[in-house]
Chain A
């Protein structure tokens, strides 16, 4: 395969990894943020955690794989982004650490204060992660200061611009909604009713923020940063989000979940389309941007990695999909049936 084809394939593969991560871990983050607000009793909180208990770790691996694949396929992208977003990523890591450890440790002691502390750490960790990932992607869409040596020249406050913050908050809202829809599918009884009430309110917040973000992106011209016009994809993303509102009101959780999931996927597709072939846009000078051509690995490495991906991605997708099928049943808050 030609070098250029390989570079495009790996751009698409990394986009797919991020899409998978936002789609899957998106509801995990949402569930995490909802946990202390939705669960009043200990059994309820445990049931909420168990809805993602067997899958959150596997979902998080999508992020690790996206990181690893970026390192392998586009070392300069990995190097510039990770060193450039240093403190933001540090906070993201702290968020992921306190969230991950809390899933495992919160029920290993009966002391209510212990459990409550870990529940809040799950919520705060999920919030931090969602906020920072959203802000990071908004900044990637907007462009960040990069000099002629591919070095990021800003700092944490460079990322905390209005557009970045709006991107972060919108991501938080969408993930909250996504999590609420997921819980609507996994819980039963009173808890299921309660989560539907949450979803209605969250839908309003998420939609408002999402539309503002869209308008901001359009007016600022960020959609025009790459070589491909995303066209109707962002419009479709807005439409599915509106349709999700209808299904939430109808209490048709499955469809509501699918619609918000589609919104997340289409948003990511929009992002990667409008940035292509840039991977990190330089706001200092457009010509200093990192692209799939100047940031990539050698042809040999991309070929080897393609073969590896061709073999293992289908296997991973098969067994991860099978896990969801295995644990498809709704979770009751009855103590006897709960796995602690």
Chain B
């Protein structure tokens, strides 16, 4: 493989991996903070247990997000040095702010939360989990503002400096106010909440089926279902709004995710499209009329430009080249994301509806459905990001810099193979340890989580405290 392909694979693998853990951190922090606040207000021990139990799972997951996050920040310079030179004047700022504003807050206050119980005043301990949750969500906001510039650089925020051949910031507020980025932020923060909600649902169902800690897990299940439903609805609204922005700022991505080759008015939505082997031409498709116009413009009339017309237009604008993303990927990731998103919303609504019944834990579906549903937010989330990033190809900064011009020119294929294999091995080992611990602590249940020391196996812990 050539250095560009290797660098892209490495960025994709490390980023998708990082982002398997971060959304759960983003969402679960709020849950834990809420549970602890309820304890603070009511002095009801079961709220404390909830904060402790879900807090343990939060921490096990949190650690991986932190350690893989350092790789993310370093990678821009390590693998994409020409990109860093070209946009550093703009892109570096949100990254620096993220570290200064969010990382310090998140890590410092999480440290206080873990080690501070009984050592710092209770109010401080409570505030620290809120600040840790806020810090992690703030960091997501800043990195998405940076990503927003790559996706849809706001015209008012930058100029191209001919003298030194790079982009320079002229308006920080235009960068920070990038509407496309804020839709992403909304979509992503809601996704974090949904992921946490579905984890809570799955773990709660596991215990409910086994009739363990019924009251504790029923309360968790109900909260999980409620938040899961609200969050999925917010995700949907964010995604829908995004479609309309995409039509303006990234029409090619919109056409590619729909596999619309020729411009249509009104545009139909493809249920299934089969392309030819080159992926550049449609062979056969089933389509529902009008729906795509609705997704893209909120009405049933508008025109959606096709890939071929856009390609011709871009060739005129940017010179010869292939401006079409890999359609088989954009098309299918969009469908996976959207289908799973809808199933999530339906599942959460259904779980919530069922919590009306007193003995819903006895229902047959409880054995498998909530557990299976846990895969939904993970797959939808990964698909969504693959779509977002691959739909932008061949651009690294939309319309301004191509991926092929962005990599570090000094790296050899050997360098890249070493790091790619190295990251894969280390990340694989991390995942094994993480899953082992998650499973152990989730299965052990809330009573074990109340004991700080040694191990969760009750025989070992019970005697200690």
**In the complex, which residues 140-167 of chain A have their Cβ closer than 8 Å to any Cβ of chain B?**
150-153, 155
Q: Which residues of B contact A84 (CB under 8 A)?
A: 410
Q: Are B90 and A301 in contact (CB under 8 A)?
A: yes
Known: A68-B99, A82-B78, A300-B169. A54 touches B59 (CB 8 A): no
Interface residue from A69, A335, A339 paired with B115 (Cβ < 8 Å): A339
B21 to chain A, nearest CB (A): 11
- Interface membership of B95, Cβ < 8 A: yes
From B73, B82, B96, name the one whose CB has the most chain A CB atoms within 10 angstroms: B96
Known: A58-B111, A320-B104, A340-B454. A90 touches B418 (CB 8 A): yes
Q: Are A335 and B60 in contact (CB under 8 A)?
A: no
From B100, B108, B109, B434, name the one whose CB has the most chain A CB atoms within 10 angstroms: B100
Q: Which residues of B contact A297 (CB under 8 A)?
A: 88-89, 92, 168-169
Q: Are B441 and A71 in contact (CB under 8 A)?
A: no
Q: Which residues of B contact A82 (CB under 8 A)?
A: 74, 76-78, 81, 84
Known: A82-B74, A86-B408, A326-B119. A97 touches B90 (CB 8 A): no
Known: A68-B92, A153-B410, A304-B93. A83 touches B70 (CB 8 A): no
- Interface membership of A60, Cβ < 8 A: yes
- Interface membership of B433, Cβ < 8 A: yes
Residue of B nearest to A125 (CB): B67
Contact string against A for B residues 96-110, beta-carbon threshold 8 Å, 1 for contact and 0 otherwise: 111111011101111
- Interface membership of B460, Cβ < 8 A: yes
- Interface membership of A280, Cβ < 8 A: no
Known: A83-B81, A90-B418, A298-B168. A71 touches B437 (CB 8 A): no
Q: Which residues of A contact B67 (CB under 8 A)?
A: 96-97, 100-101
Interface of A is mostly: helix
Residue of B nearest to A153 (CB): B410
Interface residue from A56, A63, A109, A300 paired with B440 (Cβ < 8 Å): A109
**In the complex, which residues 91-140 of chain A have their Cβ closer than 8 Å to any Cβ of chain B?**
93-94, 96-98, 100-101, 103-105, 107-110
From A69, A75, A326, name the one whose CB has the most chain B CB atoms within 10 angstroms: A75
**In the complex, which residues 91-147 of chain B have their Cβ closer than 8 Å to any Cβ of chain A?**
91-93, 95-101, 103-105, 107-112, 114-117, 119-120
Q: Which residues of B contact A205 (CB under 8 A)?
A: none
- Interface membership of B381, Cβ < 8 A: no
Q: Are B85 and A109 in contact (CB under 8 A)?
A: no
B342 to chain A, nearest CB (A): 36
Interface of B is mostly: helix
Q: Are B441 and A108 in contact (CB under 8 A)?
A: yes
In Å, the complex CA distance between A61 and B98 comes to 11
In Å, the complex CA distance between A69 and B94 comes to 10
Interface residue from B87, B110, B453 paired with A340 (Cβ < 8 Å): B453
Q: Are A71 and B91 in contact (CB under 8 A)?
A: yes
Q: Which residues of A contact B120 (CB under 8 A)?
A: 326
Q: Which residues of B contact A308 (CB under 8 A)?
A: 93, 96-97, 100-101
A282 to chain B, nearest CB (A): 14
Q: Interface segment, A181-189, A193-201, A311-319?
A: A311-319
Known: A68-B95, A72-B96, A79-B77. A298 touches B104 (CB 8 A): no
- Interface membership of A230, Cβ < 8 A: no
- Interface membership of A50, Cβ < 8 A: yes
- Interface membership of A239, Cβ < 8 A: no
- Interface membership of B350, Cβ < 8 A: no
In Å, the complex CA distance between A61 and B67 comes to 11
Residue of A nearest to B166 (CB): A75
Residue of A nearest to B79 (CB): A83
Contact string against A for B residues 439-465, beta-carbon threshold 8 Å, 1 for contact and 0 otherwise: 011000000000011110100100010
Contact string against B for A residues 246-290, beta-carbon threshold 8 Å, 1 for contact and 0 otherwise: 000000000000000000000000000000000000000000000
Q: Which residues of B contact A60 (CB under 8 A)?
A: 70, 107
Q: Are B455 and A110 in contact (CB under 8 A)?
A: yes
Interface residue from A61, A87, A104, A304 paired with B59 (Cβ < 8 Å): A104
- Interface membership of B5, Cβ < 8 A: no
From B71, B103, B117, name the one whose CB has the most chain A CB atoms within 10 angstroms: B103
Q: Are A98 and B85 in contact (CB under 8 A)?
A: no
- Interface membership of B66, Cβ < 8 A: yes
Q: Which residues of A contact B410 (CB under 8 A)?
A: 83-84, 86, 151-153
In Å, the complex CA distance between A299 and B68 comes to 33
Residue of B nearest to A105 (CB): B433
Q: Are A83 and B103 in contact (CB under 8 A)?
A: no
Q: Which residues from chain B sit less than 8 Å from chain A, CB to CB?
A: 59-60, 62-64, 66-68, 70-71, 73-74, 76-79, 81-82, 84-85, 87-93, 95-101, 103-105, 107-112, 114-117, 119-120, 161, 166, 168-170, 172, 408-412, 415, 418-419, 422, 426, 430, 433-434, 436-437, 440-441, 452-455, 457, 460, 464
In the assembled complex, 18 residue pairs joining A and B whose CB atoms fall closer than 8 Å, in A order, are A53-B115, A54-B114, A57-B108, A60-B70, A65-B103, A76-B88, A79-B77, A79-B88, A86-B411, A98-B426, A100-B67, A101-B63, A109-B455, A151-B410, A155-B412, A313-B100, A326-B120, A340-B453
Ranked nearest first, the 6 interchain pairs of A and B with the lowest CB-CB distance are: A75-B88, A82-B77, A72-B92, A110-B455, A71-B92, A83-B408
Q: A155-B412, A304-B93 are in contact. List 4 more A-B contacts (CB 8 A).
A: A75-B84, A83-B77, A100-B67, A301-B89
